[in-house]
Amino acid sequence: MKNIVILISGSGSNMAAIVRAAGRQRWAERLNARVAAVISNRPDARGLQLAANAGIATAVVDHKSFAGREPFEAALMQAIDAHAPALVALAGFMRILTPGFVAHYAGRLLNIHPSLLPAFAGLHTHQRAIDEGCKLAGATVHRVTAELDHGDILAQAAVPVLPGDTAETLAARVLTQEHLIYPRAIADLLRTL
Ligand code: GAR
């Protein structure tokens, strides 16, 4: 069985979309794959409860209880590797990862970013797209490399930026597309593993 481990920091709606797709599309039977665990760096991440309700193993590796990035990542790697993952999917995981962490999961670490990369790497993507007068915004599923929000693009979806949009209304429109492209990109990748 190919195990997927999903890392979250917050509401976990992308994680939930992946879990839903895995169930509806019967990934266990058709792709020999399952979401094995959901791990958060925040003990209060709402997604943890969603995952537990779906019968998925959960864990917290709280970055605040470590002296620095490296011991945090060592503990995180241990929690992830306990599930021998074929894929590790960052889904709203809001920690910057060191090159050592990225290298450890080379080729099997994915992320979703709320912009049409290579535009708007980093934070505040929706406000920046509005401020620049963009007519299109969107989301990107990409492989993770040591450089933040870079790496091969696996899937993208675009949405219009509408007159009167705020960062919140645009984020909500983009998020509905994230929920479609991330599960699809993961399923496509699983077929090649
Ligand atoms: C999503 O919009 C995701 O693209 C973004 O955080 C949100 C998480 O929502 N990720 C990043 O900004 C990563 N730099 P979710 O917790 O409901 O999936």
Q: What is the percentage of the chain residues whose pLDDT exceeds 90? A: 99
Tell me the average pLDDT of the chain.
97
124 catalytic residue (yes or no): no
CB neighbours of 145 closer than 8 A, spacing ≥ 6?
102, 151
pLDDT at residue 165 in the model:
98
User: In the block, which residue shows the tokens 């959901």?
Assistant: 38
Both tokens assigned to 18: 């992946």
Nearest CA to ligand 1 atom 14: 113
Q: What is the model's pLDDT at position 128?
A: 98
Query: What residues contact 164, with CB distance under 8 A and at least 6 apart?
Result: none
Name every residue whose Cβ is closer than 8 Å to that of residue 78 and which is 6 or more positions away in sequence.
none
Separation of 18 CA from ligand 1 center, angstroms?
Answer: 13
User: pLDDT tier at 89 (50, 70, 90 boundaries)?
Assistant: very high
| pLDDT tens-place string over residues 137-152 | 999 999 999 998 999 9
- Ligand 1 proximity of 8 Cβ (cutoff 6 Å): yes
Alpha carbon distances (Å) from 186 to 35, 42, 46, 110, 189 = 11, 24, 22, 9, 5
Amino acid 85: pLDDT:
98
Q: Are 18 and 178 spatial neighbours (Cβ–Cβ below 8 Å)?
A: no
State the amino acid at position 137 in one-letter form.
A
CA of 78 to the centre of ligand 1 (A): 24
Report pTM.
Answer: 0.97
Contact 51, 67 (CB under 8 A): no
pLDDT at 40: 98
Mean pLDDT, residues 47-52 taken together: 96
